[in-house]
Amino acid sequence: MSIARDLDGYQTPIPVVDLDRMESNLDRMAAYTRDHRLHLRPHVKTHKSLRVAAAQVVRGAAGLTCATPRELEVMSGASASLLLGYPPVGAGRLARLLAVPEPVELRVSLDSAQAIDGLAAAASAAGRPVAVLVEVDLGMRRVGVATAEELVLLARRATDATGLSFEGIAFYPGHIRSGGPESDDAIRRVSNALAGMLDALAGAGLAARTVSGGSTPTAWRSHEIAGVTEIRPGTYVYNDRATVACGVAQRDDCALTVLATVVSTAVPGQAVVDAGTKSLGREPRGGDEQFGFGELWDRPEVVVRAMSEEHGILDLSRTAWRPVIGEVVRIIPNHVCIVTHLFDGVIGIRGNEVVEAWQVAARGR
Ligand SMILES: Cc1ncc(COP(=O)(O)O)c(C=O)c1O
């Protein structure tokens, strides 16, 4: 692919990654996990690209976490150890999991006897060992068993199943939306609940080699949760308005912005850009109507107030800036993982110069 060096050479809307910021985000998380002797298994849903996965692996990631078969297929080109952090339910999903090229080590987190039985049958038929992490619910209320009794039953079932081995526990503390002292109690509750689960396993003679947790908001406090051996943050690679609002990133840590063009100023008090829900996603911040759906990189006071599919309405009520038609802006999205998933490709810049372009190869199903 030939690369225009100037951002003006690109048709908008298009995501732009500031490589210096991205690398500093990657370095910081790699250093944290090294310092605390934790394995890092980043979730690839945020970037869905081999380019960024390779940058994570080269910094010491022990493996990668995927949610979809497409992510597994693509990421088999980046890491020798993949975790499917999603219930392996359905013949199509199982077939694609087991068709991931060898010698990639396969791990799966799950929370039901049905999922274990289906996975065991598929793994045996394929002659491919799969390691199981039993998902426990430590407060998120999404997936995961709630009691130590259920955990022990599933761990034993995985241990006894032909084709499977029991590797440990997975949990996702996505209910904790900040990394500061206001989360102290919630972190303590997760830690206590996990300790109970681990005691029950040990009492049943079942050892968890891996205890996998850690979202981006809780990543930096993972060492406070006794027993955790690996973390799976995803959003940290790019960050977004949500991680800044959580207090776990600075605005300058936001590595991905959406380049957009002002296409209309006809309605007073606003300007319209060519990035709507099909570029930014529609991720409101609960309880804050003024938050909007994105903000301008160089003018934080200007937010995307409303959107149609291809129209983003910039609110000009708090700025003296009056954009002209054709002016190009950069927007920090609310939730960056959704943005990645909406585009085929990304361009990478250093300073203001475009130096790279890569595909979002693992998007789609
Ligand atoms: C199972 C699982 N692990 C890890 C992550 C990564 O968390 P974050 O988005 O906070 O980086 C997610 C995010 O959705 C997830 O669902």
The 3-class secondary structure across 188-205, one letter per residue, is HHHHHHHHHHHHHHHHCC
If you measure from the C-alpha of residue 290 to the centroid of ligand 1, how many angstroms do you get, rounded to a whole number? 26
Residues 266-313 pLDDT 10s? 999 999 999 999 999 999 888 888 899 999 999 999 999 999 999 999
Residue 257, pLDDT > 70, answer yes
Q: Tokens representing 301?
A: 């006071």
Show the tokens assigned to 190. 């997760």
Query: Relative to the CA of 234, which ligand 1 atom is closest?
Result: 11
Query: Could you tell which of 43, 83, 84, 341 is best to mutate to test the pocket of ligand 1, judged by most ligand atoms within 8 Å of the CB?
Result: 43
Q: Quote the pLDDT of residue 288.
A: 85
* Tens digits of residue pLDDT in 79-132: 999 999 999 999 999 999 999 999 999 999 999 999 999 999 999 999 999 999
Dump pLDDT digits (tens) for 31-80: 999 999 999 999 999 999 999 999 999 999 999 999 999 999 999 999 99
Q: Facing residues of 211 across strands? A: 169
Sign of CA dihedral 232, 236, 237, 241: positive
On average, the pLDDT of the chain sits at 97
pTM value?
A: 0.97
Confidence label for 18 from pLDDT (cuts 50, 70 and 90): very high
pLDDT above 70 covers a percentage of the chain that reads 99
**Mean pLDDT calculated for residue range 320-348:** 98
Atom of ligand 1 nearest to the CA of 235: 11
Residue 82 CA to ligand 1 center (angstroms) comes to 15
Going from the Cα of 12 to the center of ligand 1, the distance in angstroms, rounded, reads 29
232 CA to middle of ligand 1, Å?
7
Q: Tell which residue, 319, 298, 309, 318, has the closest CA to residue 273.
A: 309
Burial of 70 (0-12, 13-18, 19+ CB in 10 A): middle
Closest residue CA from atom 16 of ligand 1:
172
How many whole angstroms from 215 Cα to the centroid of ligand 1?
5
pLDDT average, residue stretch 25-32: 98
CB atoms within 10 A of CB 271: 23
Mutate to test the pocket of ligand 1, among 177, 215, 221 (most ligand atoms within 8 A of CB): 215
Task: Region of 148 please: left (phi>0), alpha (psi -120 to 50) or beta.
Answer: alpha
**DSSP letters spanning 77-117:** TT-SEEEE-S---SHHHHHHHHTSPTT-EEEEEE--HHHHH
What is the band of 213 on the pLDDT scale with cuts at 50, 70, 90? very high
Q: Among residues 105, 106, 159, 97, which one has the least CA distance to residue 134?
A: 159
Give the whole-angstrom CA distance, residue 27 versus residue 127: 38
Whole-number Å distance, alpha carbon 247 to ligand 1 midpoint, is 17
Q: Rounded to the nearest whole angstrom, what is the distance from the C-alpha of residue 258 to the centroid of ligand 1?
A: 22
Tens digit of pLDDT for each residue in 192-207? 999 999 999 999 999 9
The CA-based angle 25-258-263, given to 5 degrees, is 165
Within 6 Å (CB) of ligand 1, which residues are found? 43, 65, 85, 172, 215-217, 232-235
Residue 265: which residues within 8 A CB-CB, separation 6 or more? Answer: 271, 272, 322, 323, 324, 325
Q: Supply the pLDDT for residue 2.
A: 67
**Confidence (pLDDT) at 188:** 97
Which pLDDT value is given to residue 1?
Answer: 52
Contacts of 55 (CB under 8 A, 6+ apart): 22, 23, 26
> How much is the CA Rg of the chain, to the nearest whole Å?
22
Mutate to test the pocket of ligand 1, among 232, 237, 253, 336 (most ligand atoms within 8 A of CB): 232
Mean pLDDT of 22-36: 98
CA gap 69, 73 in Å, rounded: 6
Q: Ligand 1: which residue has its CA nearest to atom 4?
A: 232
Give the pLDDT score at 162: 97
CA distance 285 to 147: 32
pLDDT at 289: 81
- The pLDDT assigned to 4 comes to 82
Confidence grade of residue 365 (pLDDT, cut at 50, 70, 90)? confident
| pLDDT > 90: percent of the chain | 95
Q: Say whether 230 sits in a helix, a strand or coil.
A: strand
